[in-house]
């Protein structure tokens, strides 16, 4: 019997794979008016070109400190380092880790849905593989049902929204070129209260808490830190910030609210007013009030990259030391990455979108089996 071809597209930010790629990556990032508003049109692209030219070498140095593929490319087949057999010393960890998530999810889905021919793809927003490359591959593979699955548990127009708009733009271009996809398409918007997602966050917190002594554990303050957004986005109805708070409260409910906890925001870019409190400023304020033990929890990031490994793991301690703020211990919980329960959360989201197809497939099988039984009975009777 024919197995329907199911394509699951996981979307993520992406990251540069070399110093040269860092400039183009930053240009792609700052050109996107959904994430950073610089005036739009030629003004936006002009400023994006200037910013990327001025900043790329400094940013590349940060990627060197956390290079994700020190022994060779572990990213997707679209990575230029893989194609050119180059070992990069400043590749963003988001590339190999997203590929790990893709492979792990594909294996889980194949086991979960044997009635489908399943393939998982990765579409990065600001670096390879881009949406048009993935859409081409899906057409070649003959995909019949497609699910867009963001590696962002919380919906924001600056992340998931931007990826969806980009996907639709590419689809329109394909239509103009006479190769519009004919598959049935389903979209996952958010899953910030998914039980296995929350359990995965909790287990990462528990793992990190083991780095503290029993005496220290009672003094630890949990700092849930999320990527900030411009306040204008919040005021325009973006649900992201509210969903972050909902996730944090749900996590702390699971923990019986044993620890002191806070929510803060990091990674501010540009002149606009962003969500508060700023993570670095918040930690400084707590130190001033006598807090000396911190566990930083990157609540909105499910794939370790520059915001988690460098901003929290390297820059934050350095800034505190340089500004004369003294603490006893500051730890960062690990990203979810391929945590089994996070992968389970993704499988659940796929299941929710195709459960009607599972019923149709079961009915078709029942019909085929019924026909076969009828034929066998007729032959036996004859």
Residues 344 and 320 in one domain: no
Q: What mean pLDDT comes out for the span 71-99?
A: 96
What percent of the chain shows pLDDT beyond 70? 94
Residue 36, pLDDT score: 80
Residues 20 and 150 in one domain: yes
Number of Cβ within 10 Å of residue 148's Cβ equals 21
Residues 32 and 153 in one domain: yes
What beta strand segments (E) does 236-365 contain? 260-266, 293-298, 329-332
Residue 368, pLDDT score: 47
Residue 364, pLDDT score: 60
Residue 1, pLDDT score: 72
Q: Output the domain CATH number for residue 32.
A: 3.40.50.1400
Q: How many domains, in total, are found in the chain? A: 2
- For 85, residues 6+ apart whose C-beta sits below 8 A from its C-beta are none
Residue 369, pLDDT score: 53
Q: Which residue's structure tokens are 């699955």?
A: 149
| pLDDT-based confidence at residue 375 (cuts at 50, 70, 90) | low
Residues 159 and 199 in one domain: no
Residues 213 and 184 in one domain: no
Is 34 strand, coil or helix?
coil
Kindly state the helix (H) or strand (E) to which residue 9 belongs, with its residue range: strand 5-12
Is 193 strand, coil or helix?
coil
User: In this structure, is residue 378 part of a structural domain?
Assistant: no
- Which of 43-47, 151-155, 164-168, 377-381 shows the lowest per-residue confidence on average (mean pLDDT)? 377-381
> Considering only CA atoms, which of 180, 159, 136, 137 is closest in space to residue 29?
159
CA 142 from centre of chain: 26
Residues 278 and 348 in one domain: no
User: Mean pLDDT of all residues in the chain?
Assistant: 94
Expressed in angstroms, the distance from the first to the final Cα of the chain is 28
Q: What mean pLDDT comes out for the span 62-88?
A: 96
* Whole-structure pTM value: 0.93
> What are 311-355's pLDDT values in tens digits?
999 999 999 999 999 999 999 999 999 999 999 999 999 999 999
User: In this structure, is residue 85 part of a structural domain?
Assistant: yes
Q: Is a pLDDT exceeding 60 seen at residue 367?
A: no
Residue 33, pLDDT score: 87
User: In this structure, is residue 12 part of a structural domain?
Assistant: yes
Q: Is a pLDDT exceeding 60 seen at residue 3?
A: yes
> What are 162-214's pLDDT values in tens digits?
999 999 999 999 999 999 999 999 999 999 999 999 999 999 999 999 999 99
CB-CB contact of 207 with 334 (8 Å): yes
> What are 95-144's pLDDT values in tens digits?
999 999 999 999 999 999 999 999 999 999 999 999 999 999 999 999 99
Residues 75 and 199 in one domain: no
Q: Is a pLDDT exceeding 60 seen at residue 372?
A: no
Q: Is a pLDDT exceeding 80 seen at residue 370?
A: no
User: In this structure, is residue 371 part of a structural domain?
Assistant: no
Residues 201 and 271 in one domain: yes
173-199 in b/e form (b: 16+ CB < 10 A) is: ebeeeeeebebebbebebbbebebbbb
User: In this structure, is residue 79 part of a structural domain?
Assistant: yes
Q: Does the bond joining 232 to the residue before it have cis omega, within 30 degrees of 0?
A: no
Name the residue range of residue 258's domain. Answer: 195-332
CB-CB contact of 162 with 139 (8 Å): no
């Amino acid at each position: 019997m024919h197995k329907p071809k199911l394509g699951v597209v996981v979307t993520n930010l992406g990251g540069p794979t070399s110093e040269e790629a860092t400039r183009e990556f930053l240009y792609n990032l700052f050109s996107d008016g959904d994430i950073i508003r610089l005036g739009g049109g030629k003004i936006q692209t002009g400023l994006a070109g200037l910013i990327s030219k001025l900043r790329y070498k400094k940013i590349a140095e940060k990627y060197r400190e956390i290079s994700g593929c020190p022994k060779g490319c572990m990213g997707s087949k679209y990575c230029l380092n893989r194609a050119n057999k180059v070992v990069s010393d400043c590749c963003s960890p988001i590339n190999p880790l997203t590929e790990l998530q893709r492979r792990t999810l594909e294996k889980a889905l194949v086991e979960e849905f044997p009635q489908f021919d399943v393939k998982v793809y990765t579409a990065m927003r600001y670096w390879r593989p881009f949406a048009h490359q993935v859409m081409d591959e899906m057409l070649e593979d003959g995909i019949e049902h497609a699910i867009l699955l963001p590696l962002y548990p919380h919906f924001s127009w600056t992340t998931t929204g931007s990826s969806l708009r980009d996907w639709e733009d590419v689809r329109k271009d394909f239509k103009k070129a006479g190769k519009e996809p004919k598959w049935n398409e389903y979209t996952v918007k958010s899953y910030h209260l998914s039980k296995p997602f929350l359990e995965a966050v909790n287990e990462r917190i528990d793992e990190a808490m083991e780095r503290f002594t029993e005496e220290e554990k009672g003094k630890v303050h949990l700092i849930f830190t999320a990527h900030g957004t411009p306040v204008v986005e919040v005021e325009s109805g973006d649900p992201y910030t509210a969903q972050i708070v909902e996730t944090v409260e749900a996590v702390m409910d699971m923990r019986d609210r044993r620890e002191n906890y806070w929510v803060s925001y990091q990674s501010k870019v540009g002149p606009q007013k962003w969500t508060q409190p700023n993570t670095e400023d918040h930690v400084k304020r707590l130190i001033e009030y006598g807090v000396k033990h911190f566990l930083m929890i990157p609540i909105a990031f499910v794939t370790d990259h520059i915001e988690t490994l460098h901003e929290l793991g390297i820059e934050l301690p350095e800034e505190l030391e340089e500004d004369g703020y003294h603490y006893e211990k500051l730890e960062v919980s690990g990203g979810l990455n391929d945590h089994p329960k996070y992968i389970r959360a993704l499988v659940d989201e796929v299941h929710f979108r195709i459960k009607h197809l599972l019923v149709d497939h079961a009915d078709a099988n029942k019909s085929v089996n019924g026909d076969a039984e009828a034929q066998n009975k007729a032959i036996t009777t004859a």
